[in-house]
Every structure is written in structure tokens, then in C-alpha cells.
Structure 1
Amino acid sequence: MSGKLLRLVCVAATATGTALAPLPARAVPEPDAERQQVAALLTDLQGLYRKAEEATEAYNATEEKLKKQRAETDRLDRALARARLSLHDSRGAAGRLARQQYQSSTDLSPYVRLLLARDPQHAIEQGHVIGRLAQERAGTVTRLSGAERKAGDLARKARAALDRQLALTERRKKERDEVRTRLHDVEELLASLSREQLTALAEFERKGIAKAQKEFMASGALGSEADVDAGDADGKNGESDGTATGTTVRTPSAEGGRAVRYAVRQIGKPYEWGTEGPRTYDCSGLTSQAWTEAAGTPVPRTSQEQWKQLERIPLDELRPGDLVVYFPKATHVALYLGGGMVVHAPRPGAKVKVSPIAANPVLGAVRPDPGGEPLRRYEPPELPEGATDGSDEGYDGYAAPAPDTSAR
């Protein structure tokens, strides 16, 4: 590794708060020292990615709340418009009632008119009519009072709903800016590295993932699925690549199978934060669309809510279509294919791809359709060529500028 990369490591460590031991005073570091510095740089870069993904999922959560709040505000506005129209009609009826009372006013009470009437029976019948009219007039007054109360209540709720919408809009703007800041940090670090240095990082990451995958599969965490040899993470050295086209022990439900096929069809599409297709995806945008749109089973939009709301299952019960959640804060999610492999939208600069399940630290798994019966026969979808290619960290073709979502 060049002296320039070593200086960048120190700069990156200082920027992210990572303490590194002083470098040896030699022009060319020893292999062990070089590996340590690459590992430190990779750790810093992964930390920046995680912070960006946390900010992205926070933005997604606020965006979902904002969508619901807009719908609620619109509903209240429509209800208020109807209430005001009803109030207008009630006030018109009350006005007609007042005019009728004024025009038919007399100094004689109904009882005096009854005593003076030539035909008392007819007067009594008229009294019944008068009683009904009185009831109708009372009803008109009651409806007017109720319409006024309802309109006033709806007006207060509509104002409160609008205030909540404005607050969410402001929060979303701050979270959007936070994502952009975090991605700018990643962009700066990556832009300072040469192609050779990026290649060294990607190779170091690949070997780390391969080791983590072998240890994960050997641990028996997947139960009988662990018998399916995932081999080296990139399928080299003549070993199985562990993709969904290999032998799998379990079968998905019908809905899970549709979710898997949908996710596989998205392989190769770019990652873009805050999106859920059809041209670009972030991690939870891919999994939510696979289940909600393709499988017809609604799931939450964000990885945190998917982890929080969906039924959790042991890893040794994973079947294709289940969702694998990563990192302590549940900030990344992938869709399980079988054979120890997942399909996911990894990071900015990367594309939807197939990766080993242990490419990131596994938090756990959830099942969107816990009541779904496994299919008796299941033919895994054929993966497109290059489905496992590329770095999960998006070193190849990093799409630095964050998209402008101010109009969303």
C-alpha cells in the first residue's frame, strides 16, 4: 500500500473518531501493518455507510408518517367541507323557521284560540298539526346546534392535522439533509482513493465475507440449511456459490415464492436512498415492494418496522421469502433466497445483487406470512448472469451525489 493511502487512513480515522496506533516510520509497511491499515479503513468506511443507512431509514419512516398525515389532513378537510355545507343548509332552515314564526305571530295563545273556536274538534286537529310543526322546528334547531358543534370540532382537528403535517415536513427536510451529509462523508473518503486502493479494499472485504459466511454456515445457525455448502462468497476455487439455483432444503409459501421472483427480477437495478422502485431501490424499499406489491402481503416500509412488527422466526427455520435483518439497530434488510444466500439492495453505488447471508452482521429474521403453507414443489428462479458480482459496499461506480428529494 502506498504512503498516500496510509495518510488517508489516518485522516479517515481522525474524521470518524477511530483511534489508530502510530504508523511505523518506514516507507513501505510490512504486510501485517498493511492489512491492519486496510482493515481500519474498511471499518471506518462501513461505519460511515451504517450512519448513512440509519439516516436513510429515519427519513423513510418520516416519509411514511408524512404520507399518512397528508391523507388524514385531506380526509379532515373533506369532512369539514361537508360539515360546513350541512351547517349552511341548517342555518337556511333556521332562517326560514324564524321568518315563519314572525309572519304567523299573534297575541292569542293556542289555548285561547281553541276556546274561541267555533269547531273545537277541528281546532284540536289543528293543534296536532301545530305540535308536529313544533317538533320539526325543534329538530331544526337541534340540527343547527349539532352542525355548528361538528363543524367547530372538525375545524380544530383539521388545524391540528395541518400542524402535524408541517412538523413532519420540517423533520423530513432535516433527515434528508442528514442523509446527504453522511453520504458526502462517504463520497469524500472514496474520492480520495485510487482504483488500486479501492480494489484492495474490495478484495479485503470479499475475503472477510467469505470467512464470515463459512463460519456462519459451519455454526449450524441455519439448521439443515447449513448442509447446503455456500462455499466461497464469490463462487471461486470450484466451490458452489450457494445461490438459489442450487439445492435448498425448505420451500416458500406461494406468497413468499412471488416475493422471491420479484426480488430476483430487480437484480442489477441501482441502489438509491429513499426509493422503492421500480427503477431504483433502497434496502427496505426492495423488501417492502416484493411483499406488498408482488406477494400481496402488506409489510412496513422501513427495516426497523419490519423487524418490530413482523413475526420473528429462528434462523434455523428460514425459508425463501423470509426477511433477514442486520445490525443492532435493524438498519438493513435482505430477502432470503435459500442455500445461505440473500438478495438485497446493499449500499449507495451498488446494485441489487445476491450476497451471502453473513455479508453483514445478522440481527435476526422475520416472516411476513407466518400462516402461509410451504409449497409442496418449488422451482427457484434462475439468477441472471453476474447476480453475485460487485462489492456490497458499492466501491464500483459509486454514485456519489444524493438524489434531490425536496419535491417528494
Structure 2
Amino acid sequence: MGTGKRGLLAAAVAVVCAITVLGAPGAAFAAPGPTPSPTAGATTPPLPSTASDKDLEAVRTKLEALYHDAAVATDAYNAAEEAAKKQSAEIVELARKIVAGQAKLDDLKNRAGAAARAQYRTGGLPDEAQLMLSDDPSEFLDGAGRVRQGERATKGLIGELSRTQQDLVQYSKDASAQWKKLEAGRKTKAAAQKRIEKQISAAEKLRSQLEKEEKERLEQLEAKVAQEAQTAWLGTGVLDEIKSAASVQGKQAVQFATAQIGKPYVWGAEGPKAFDCSGLTSEAWRSAGRPIPRTSQEQWKQLPHIAIEDMRPGDLIIYFDDASHVALYVGDGSIVHAPRPGRTVTLAGAGSMPILGVVRPDA
């Protein structure tokens, strides 16, 4: 193996090793996702010693903002993770092409060298001179034909060698570009992770200021707000319009999602022991044989939109104006979803949160 080939092979192996590190949990990166909302800052004022209903409503609103901001950052983190997997795979493929291309280039150089040595042995004389010096003109003419064929083959060989060299240069440029994306994405993902942890920490600190009785009242308040939203949604008569039956794959997705009830929410998780909101929906549909985008925002962007009245079990309901939350509709006005940190996968009312729209993975 020549020194050039060994160098490229070493570089390719180094690329693959680096990708292995970047592909490890907590170390895969990609392009920036949506900027988290600045309205949900992590600074929280201390509560009075005895929280009134008004105080608890303020806490509920603040917690909702903090968790929403964490959800937006989680979507950015997950998008970075998915893009990094794709970029890493592309770099690995480019490294493979570089190694194979270098081997091909070495072979072409050897063949070109052999052709040059053969021409040198003939003395490089013109055909006319070789004809005059030949003892058997007919044999020479036959040989001259073969020489011309060889010349054409040599030209083709040189052309292929040049193209292979150009391919190697392009592969190297492409690999370098992908590597730069991964490096730039590292900072983006780290920032998203920091934002998530900051917002969750602020929410936990805020809750920790409450007494046991106040926490219970807060939970009752949260349940009341959700129930009022669900009642208002059902009051529109929307459920009377929803009559579509689930598809075969939709039933499979529902079965998977409902089987995860009780498992904890963990941001960035996609099973099997924990899930975030889009981790649950993407895994539910993957189990049904229909891979879908990993994040709620990409699910909203890429999957076919369905009118709410045409909704059927298995469809995905996207929530909030920024598509920062997603749940799987299971029928009878209910969803199964992974709500937020500190909660578990659970059933809830489909109208308990502001609905952005509905998408169908198997449309």
C-alpha cells in the first residue's frame, strides 16, 4: 500500500472514529432549531409564605411558560440529534468512497505506468520507421493495429485516472463540509441542552417553594384549567363530527402508545423506558411500520394535514402556535401523550391544550 493510500485510509478511519464519538448519546449535533421563546425566563420571584389562589395561578402560568420553553428547546435538541445522525452517515460513506477511490487510483497509476514502459521498450519510433526496419511488414502492420488500440486504451486510462483524482478531491471537500456542520452544530445542541436544563431547574425550584397543601392545590388548579379547555372544545360539537375509524397502522400506533402509559417523560428520550412527546409519537408509528420525523415541528411540517372533523385514531394532534407539543389521538376525544418533565405518559382530553392542527402519518 503506497504512502498516499495509507494517509487517506488513516484519515478515513479517523473520520469514522470521530463520528463514533459524536454519535454517542449527548454528543450528536446539527443545524440550529427554533429559538426558544424569551417570555419564559428562568428567574422566579419567591412566593409569599401562604400562597393565595391568585399566587397559585401566577405559579401555574409561570410553570406553563417554563415548560413550554423547555419543550421548544427539546424540539431543537431532537432536530439536531436527527440531523447529526444523517450527517455522520454521509461522512462515513464519503470516507468509504475515499478509501475505494484511492485504491482505484493506485491501480490506474500502475496500469498507466505499465503502458508507458511498454512504449519505452519499442524505442518510441514512429510507425513509418518501425515498418522500414521490420523483417516482416505484415507482422508489423498487425502489431501496429494493436498498438493503436493500446494507445486509445491508454488515453481512456488517463481520462479515468483524471476523473478519479477529481472525485477524490470532491469527496474530501464534501467530507470537510459535513464535518464543519457537525462542529457548528455542537454549539447549537449544547445551547439547547443548557436552555432545557435551565428552564426545568427553574420550574423545579418554583415548585419547591410550595408547601405540600399548596402543591395539591396547584395540581387541582392545573387539572381544572385542562378540564375547562376540554369542555369548551367538546362544547363546539366537534366530537359529533369525528366518526372516522382507525386504519390498521393507526390501531397499531395506538396500541403501542397506550402500552407506554405510566412511563416517565424525559426530554430527548424515545424509549423504551422513557419518552418525550415526539419520541412517543415517532416510536408509535415506527412500530406500526411507518417511520415519521422525530420532532413535533417536523411532523407538522412534513406530514399531511387533516381537518379536525376528519380525525381518526392514530392521527397526531399538534399543539401550540409553534408546534412544540404533539399527542396521538386515541378516539372519543382523548389523546395519549408524554406531557412534560415530572409527569408520565398519560391519557388526556384532546382539547385540553391549544390545538394547532392534525396530521396523518399514513394518509
User: Normalising TM by the smaller chain, what interval?
Assistant: 0.7 to 0.9
Establish whether residue 127 from structure 1 lines up as the match of residue 144 from structure 2. yes
TM-score by length of 2: 0.84
> How much has 1:18 moved relative to structure 2?
9.8
Corresponding residue number in structure 2 for 1:266? 260
Query: Following the alignment from structure 1 to structure 2, what is the Cα–Cα distance between the partners of residues 124 and 368?
Result: 71
Quote the sequence identity (%).
38
> 2:119 is matched with which residue: 91, 94, 101?
101
Q: Which residue of structure 1 aligns with residue 337 of structure 2?
A: 344
Which structure 2 residue ranges, 5 or more long, are not aligned? 1-38
Matched, 1:250 2:225: no
Residue 231 of structure 2 is aligned to residue 214 of structure 1: yes
Aligned residue number for residue 221 of structure 2:
204
Gap change, CA 1:362 and 1:195, over 3 Å in 2: same
Task: Give the CA RMSD over aligned residues.
Answer: 2.2
Q: What letter is aligned with 1:43? A: T
Q: Distance in 1 between matches of 2:175 and 2:336?
A: 43
Per the TM alignment, residue 217 of structure 1 is displaced from its structure 2 partner at its CA by 0.3
For 2:311, the equivalent position in structure 1 comes to 318
Q: CA deviation at 1:147?
A: 1.4
SS at match of 1:358: coil
Q: Could you state the TM-score of these two structures normalised by the residue count of structure 1?
A: 0.75
Contact 1:90–1:147 (Cα < 8 Å) also in 2: no
Rounded to whole Å, the distance in 1 between the matches of 2:41 and 2:158 is 71
1:308 to 301, 306, 310: 301
* Contact 2:263/2:273 (8 A) holds in 1: yes
By how many angstroms is 1:104 displaced? 2.8
Bigger Rg, structure 1 or 2: 1
**When you count helix as a share of all residues, which structure comes out higher?**
2
Q: Which has the higher contact order (CA 8 A, sep 6+)?
A: 2
How many residues are aligned here? 323
Output the CA distance in 2 between the equivalents of 1:94 and 1:189.
75
Q: Which runs of 5+ in 1 are unaligned?
A: 1-12, 226-248, 371-408
- For the structure 1 residues 220 and 52, does the alpha-carbon distance in structure 2 shift closer, same or farther, using more than 3 Å as the test? same
Provide the C-alpha distance between the structure 2 equivalents of 1:220 and 1:318, rounded to a whole number of angstroms: 14
Which residue of structure 2 aligns with residue 169 of structure 1? 186
Alignment partners' CA distance in 2, 1:198 and 1:218:
30
The alpha-carbon deviation at position 118 of structure 1 amounts to 4.1
- Superposed displacement of residue 16, structure 1: 6.2
Secondary structure at the counterpart of residue 222 of structure 1: helix
Note the alpha carbon deviations across 1:86-109, whole angstroms, 9 max, x for none: 111111222222332333325x42
Distance in 2 (CA, whole Å) between partners of 1:312 and 1:223 is 20
Deviation at 1:77, TM superposition (A): 0.9
Question: Which of 336, 356, 361 is equivalent to 1:363?
Answer: 356
Does structure 1 conserve the Cα–Cα contact (< 8 Å) formed by 2:43 and 2:202? no
* CA displacement at 1:28 relative to structure 2: 7.7
Q: Give 1:285's aligned amino acid.
A: G
Match of 1:154 in 2: 171
Contact 2:40 2:66 in 1 (8 A): no
Counterpart CA distance in 2 for 1:282 and 1:91 is 55
Kept in 2, the 8 Å contact 1:318–1:365? The answer is yes
Opposite residue 131 of structure 1, the aligned amino acid is R
Kept after mapping to 2: 8 A contact 1:94/1:141: yes
* Mapped partners of 1:15, 1:283: distance in 2: 22
* Cα distance in 2, alignment partners of residues 190 and 343 from structure 1: 25
Displacement of 1:166 in angstroms is: 1.6
Residue by residue over 1:252-298, the C-alpha shift from the partner in whole angstroms, topping out at 9 and shown as x without a partner, is: 00000000000011111111000111111000000001012x11112
Query: In structure 1, what is the Cα distance between the partners aligned to 2:42 and 2:147?
Result: 86
CA distance in 1, matches of 2:226, 2:83: 36
Aligned residue number for residue 287 of structure 1:
281
Distance in 2, Cα, partners of 1:213 & 1:15: 28
